[in-house]
C-alpha cells in the first residue's frame, strides 16, 4: 500500500484488482466511474468493442466482479465520501443492472443511498427495436437513458472547507434535479477511438455538486481519461485506473494537453 500522494494526479496502467490495493484506506473523497455494461459491446455489425475486456461475462460472474470492486471502493473512501456509478440496463431494460447494483451496494456493502439520477441522452426516436410491432404479444422498450447511482460511505454529509466550494447557484439548482438531459459523447469517441465514453458534462456535474477543490477523485475504469480531465480542470486531484495500454496512453496524453480537440461546451451553460 502506498502513500496517497504517490498515487494522485496519475493515470495508473493495470486492472483495478491490481491497483486498488495500493490505495490507502479512507483516502478518497469521491469515486466517479462507469464500468463495462456487460452488453456484449462490439457484437453488433459495425460496432466497436473493448480491446482488452470481454463484455459478455455470465451475469452472476459479472455481478461478483462488481461486488469485489464495491468492497474495495468502500475501503478507500473517506467517511462521507461518495460513489457515483454510471450504468445502463441490458436487453432493452429487461436485465435490471442498475437495480442489482443498487441493492447490492446498499445491503451487502453498506453504502447509504443518496439518489439515482436518470440521464436522458436526447436520443428519443432514434431506435426502431419495436419487438412485436403493432402487437401486444412481445413488444420491446428501447431505453434512451442511463442511470447514475449516487451513494455515500457511513454518512451523507461530506465535511469540507467552505472557501473551496466551486459550484454556482444556477448549476447547483440544475444538478439537484435527478433528471439530467444532455447528449452522449460523439466527437471525442472518434477522436480517442473509444467505444464507450461519457461526455464531460457527467463528471463535471458530479464533481461540482459533491466535492470541494483539492478533493481526490477516483475513476476505476478511466478509459480515455474524461473524469480525470474534468477533475484537473476543476482544481481537484485525481487517480485514474485503466487496464488498456491504448487508452492509458491516450488519457496520459490528454491530461498533458497534447493532441486534444477543443472540449465541448457544457450543455447546462448553453
- In the prediction, which pLDDT does 262 show? 39
- In the prediction, which pLDDT does 124 show? 61
Residue 267 placed within a domain: no
Q: What stretches of 159-223 adopt beta strand conformation (E)?
A: 179-181, 216-219
pLDDT at 90 over 60: yes
pLDDT digits (tens, 9 = 90+) for 206-238: 999 999 999 999 999 999 899 999 999 999 999
- In the prediction, which pLDDT does 141 show? 79
Distances (CA, A) of 246 to 16, 193, 251, 252: 16, 9, 9, 10
CA 220 to chain centre: 9
Q: What is the CATH number of the domain that holds 150?
A: 3.40.50.150
- In the prediction, which pLDDT does 142 show? 77
Residue 92 placed within a domain: yes
pLDDT at 15 over 60: yes
What's the structural domain count of the chain? 1
pLDDT digits (tens, 9 = 90+) for 29-82: 999 999 999 876 544 444 555 566 577 789 999 999 999 999 999 999 999 999
Residue 270 placed within a domain: no
Give CA–CA dist 137/54, Å, rounded.
Answer: 33
Residue 269 placed within a domain: no
- In the prediction, which pLDDT does 52 show? 61
- Give the number of other Cβ atoms within 10 Å of residue 16's Cβ: 24
pLDDT at 14 over 50: yes
Give CA–CA dist 178/114, Å, rounded.
Answer: 11
Query: Which position has the grid cell 459533491?
Result: 210
- pLDDT confidence tier of residue 94, bands split at 50, 70 and 90: confident
Residue 69 placed within a domain: yes
The strand order across the sheet containing 28-33 reads: 10-13, 237-242, 216-219, 28-33, 77-87, 145-153, 111-120, 179-181
Q: Are 85 and 113 in contact (CB under 8 A)?
A: no
User: Residue 7's beta-bridge partner residues?
Assistant: none
- The domain of 56 spans 4-127+139-261
Residue 73 placed within a domain: yes
pLDDT at 192 over 80: no
pLDDT digits (tens, 9 = 90+) for 141-180: 778 899 999 999 999 999 999 999 999 999 999 999 999 9
pLDDT at 17 over 90: yes
Nine-digit cell string for 204: 463535471
Residue 31 placed within a domain: yes
Residue 266 placed within a domain: no
Give CA–CA dist 184/198, Å, rounded.
Answer: 6
Amino acid at each position: 500500500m502506498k502513500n496517497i500522494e504517490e498515487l494522485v494526479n496519475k493515470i495508473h496502467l493495470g486492472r483495478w484488482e491490481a491497483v486498488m490495493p495500493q490505495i490507502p484506506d479512507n483516502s478518497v473523497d469521491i469515486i466517479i466511474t462507469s464500468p463495462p455494461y456487460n452488453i456484449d459491446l462490439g457484437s453488433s455489425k459495425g460496432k466497436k468493442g473493448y480491446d482488452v475486456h470481454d463484455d459478455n461475462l455470465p451475469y452472476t460472474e459479472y455481478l461478483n466482479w462488481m461486488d469485489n470492486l464495491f468492497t474495495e471502493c468502500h475501503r478507500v473512501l473517506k467517511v462521507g465520501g461518495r460513489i457515483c456509478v454510471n450504468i445502463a440496463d441490458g436487453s432493452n431494460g429487461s436485465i435490471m443492472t442498475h437495480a442489482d447494483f443498487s441493492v447490492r451496494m446498499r445491503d451487502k456493502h453498506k453504502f447509504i443511498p443518496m439518489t439515482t439520477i436518470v440521464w436522458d441522452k436526447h436520443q428519443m426516436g432514434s431506435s426502431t427495436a419495436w419487438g412485436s410491432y403493432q402487437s401486444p404479444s412481445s413488444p420491446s422498450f428501447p431505453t434512451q437513458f442511463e442511470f447514475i447511482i449516487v451513494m455515500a460511505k457511513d454518512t451523507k454529509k461530506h465535511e469540507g472547507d467552505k472557501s473551496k466550494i466551486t459550484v454556482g447557484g444556477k448549476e447547483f439548482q440544475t444538478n439537484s434535479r435527478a433528471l439530467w438531459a444532455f447528449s452522449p459523447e460523439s466527437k471525442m469517441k472518434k477522436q480517442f477511438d473509444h467505444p464507450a465514453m461519457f461526455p464531460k458534462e457527467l463528471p463535471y456535474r458530479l464533481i461540482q455538486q459533491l466535492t470541494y477543490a483539492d478533493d481526490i477523485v477516483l475513476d476505476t475504469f478511466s478509459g480515455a481519461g474524461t473524469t480525470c480531465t474534468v477533475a484537473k480542470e476543476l482544481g481537484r486531484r485525481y487517480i485514474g485506473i485503466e487496464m488498456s495500454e491504448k487508452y492509458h496512453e491516450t488519457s496520459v496524453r490528454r491530461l498533458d494537453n497534447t493532441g486534444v480537440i477543443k472540449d465541448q461546451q457544457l450543455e447546462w451553460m448553453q
